[in-house]
Chain A
Amino acid sequence: MNEERQNERDSQLSAMFDGELSGAECELLARRLTRDETLRGQWSRYALIGAAVRAERGVRLDDRVARRVQSAVAQEPVYGDSAAADVAAARSGTSSSNASQARVDAYERWLRFARPLAGAGIAAGVAAVSILWLRTQEADPALLASAPVTESIVLEPEPASTTLALNTAQPDPEPISNGEPERYSTPAPSSQTSIAPPAHFANYVVAHSEYSGPLTRRMALLGIVGADSQAESATEPESEASSRVEAPDAP
């Protein structure tokens, strides 16, 4: 090594010792320092010059502590795998820190995209399961039939005639109400089995109304009314037909 280059290297060493060397130069020199014993001796003497200038009384101006620590650390485990990293970096022409940093960056980039996708996937899965479950609940008549109507709430269906009589009667003066209905009128249980029995369904809806939203409750009640209408329209032609058959016998 010529004198000029050696001076430049020593100047860098002095600057690194003071923490005044640029990052890239510091990395390169640190790698060289760990291999070059002459340079390490120079590093030690720079430390010693500082200690001598500061006149640190009671402190021995030599490397005794460093040598004792070095022999003790030799018995300690090695962290990481610098040799392999340095060899790989030297072959690829990049520093080991750059290589490891690039790996970390790539992993973080992958995580940045994967996290939202995973979240969306989980949300979609939960939604799909919920929809399927709701459909199963709606389509399962056994569940509706087994709804705890009589046990959960004391509501007895009234005969249609009673309700009619009440409707045609003279209205009483309106009692003072606290907003809660005093009684509920539910339709009589239907004998049809093709759809959910309206009375049971209505009881079920009323019993669980506190757990459902107003819109859902209204939709369910509309469904009951619709079912009743269908049932009535299905029975009316029969009576008409029977009346038509009976008509010739009439006087």
Chain B
Amino acid sequence: MTAEESDLVLVKRVQRGDKSAFDLLVRKYQHKVVKLVLRYVRNPAEAEDIAQEAFIKAYRALPQFRGDSAFYTWMYRIAINTAKNQLASRDRSPIAYDLDLTDPEESHSVQTKLQDPDTPEGMALTEEIRGIVNSAIEGLPEELKTAIVLRELDGLSYEEIAAAMECPVGTVRSRIFRAREAIDKRLREVFEGGLGRTEEMV
């Protein structure tokens, strides 16, 4: 089964009325979609808003999704169109850019919103997570490190990694799982109860 087919299993569950399956798709692709939108808008907060809007549009359009293309390809197009529409509407209404500095309270709220992901706490959390993951990877045995990097950084399939590492596909699956488990263990140690509570911790 490919990643597309795996996503399609979740998509079909959503189409049958399982909203939590859509949540799994959002959790899987949220970072990729935000990164994609950041090519169009510089502001991370705005990129998150656009990503959120794109996911909601995708949910509304999901009954018409027939699986002719991969879910992420379809989602990719929705996100780009949403970002372009946002840019076009912003061009039509320059108020969003021109902060009314005569109203200090409103000016402050807009500034806060724009800078939200760049707050020291937000930046610190992101950098901390990144540091934990990187140090965990550095501490991995070489074969686990190679397997997880080939998968996550280079996007190779298990079969391609097996060919590159000259080992069976089953071994690749096991190595990637063990690498993830080791990294996840470090993350859990830092953030007790998982990353779902990081916002509250911040």
Q: How far is the CB of B178 from chain A (nearest CB, A)?
A: 9
CB–CB B23/A40 < 8 A: yes
In the bound complex, do residue B176 and residue A19 qualify as a contact, i.e. CB atoms below 8 Å apart?
A: no
Q: Mark A205-226, 1 if CB is under 8 A from B, else 0.
A: 0000000000000000000000
By the criterion CB–CB under 8 Å, are B34 and A20 in contact? no
A-B contacts counted at CB < 8 A amount to: 221
Query: What is the minimal beta-carbon distance from A103 to any residue of chain B, in angstroms?
Result: 13
B134 smallest CB distance to A (angstroms): 7
**Interface residues of B, Cβ cutoff 8 Å to A:** 1-7, 9-10, 12-24, 26-35, 38, 44, 47-48, 51-52, 55-56, 59-60, 62-63, 117, 122, 125-126, 129-130, 133-134, 137, 148-149, 151-153, 157-158, 173-174, 176-177, 180-181, 183-184, 187-188, 194-196, 198-199
User: B residues within 8 A CB of A80?
Assistant: 15-17
Q: Out of A17, A27, A54, name the residue touching B28 (CB < 8 Å).
A: A17
Contact with B199, one of A41, A48, A62 (Cβ below 8 angstroms): A62
Which residues of A are found within 8 Å of B59, using beta-carbon distances? 69, 73, 76
Q: Cβ of A22 < 8 Å from any Cβ of B? A: yes
Instruction: Please report the C-alpha to C-alpha distance between residue A42 and residue B51 in the assembled complex, in whole angstroms.
Output: 22
Given the known inter-chain contacts A30-B13, A53-B152, please indicate yes or no for A58 contacting B44, CB distance below 8 A.
Answer: yes
Q: Which residue of B lies closest to A68 (CB)?
A: B52
Q: In the complex the two chains form, what is the Cα distance from A85 to B13 in whole Å? A: 11
| Cross-interface CB contact of B194 among A19, A35, A45, cutoff 8 Å | A45
A51 contacts partner chain B, Cβ-Cβ < 8 Å: yes
Contacting pair A23 B24 (CB below 8 A): no
Q: Which of B31, B62, B153 contacts A61 (CB 8 A)?
A: B31
A66-B26, A73-B59 known; A11-B34 Cβ under 8 A: no
A43 to chain B, nearest CB (A): 6
Residue picked from B22, B23, B35, B152, most chain A C-beta under 10 Å: B23
Instruction: Give the nearest-CB partner of A15 in chain B.
Output: B173
Which residue from A52, A56, A96 sits with its C-beta under 8 Å from B134?
A: A52
Are A49 and B183 CB-contacts (below 8 A) given A40-B27, A63-B196, A80-B17? yes
- Complex contacts, B125 vs chain A, CB 8 Å: 60-62
Flag if A61 contacts B126 (CB, 8 Å). yes
Q: How far is B33's CA from A214's CA once the two chains are assembled, in angstroms? A: 75
- The answer to whether B180 touches A46, judged by C-beta atoms less than 8 angstroms apart, is yes
Residues of A within 8 A of B130 (CB): 52, 55, 61
| C-alpha spacing A72/B188, complex, angstroms | 28
Residues of B near A56 (CB, < 8 A) are 31-32, 34-35
Tell which of A60, A67, A70 has the most Cβ of chain B within 10 Å: A60
Q: Could you name 14 residue pairs across A and B whose Cβ atoms are closer than 8 Å?
A: A19-B6, A26-B6, A34-B13, A44-B27, A47-B27, A47-B30, A59-B35, A60-B48, A62-B195, A63-B196, A65-B33, A66-B26, A76-B19, A76-B56
A45 to B179, CA, bound (A): 13
Question: For B27, what are the chain A residues with a Cβ–Cβ distance below 8 Å?
Answer: 40, 43-44, 47, 63, 66
Tell me which residues across on chain B come within 8 A of A51, comparing CB atoms: 31-32, 35
Query: A31 to B13, alpha carbons, bound, how many Å?
Result: 8
User: What distance in Å separates the Cβ of A204 from its nearest Cβ neighbour in chain B?
Assistant: 61
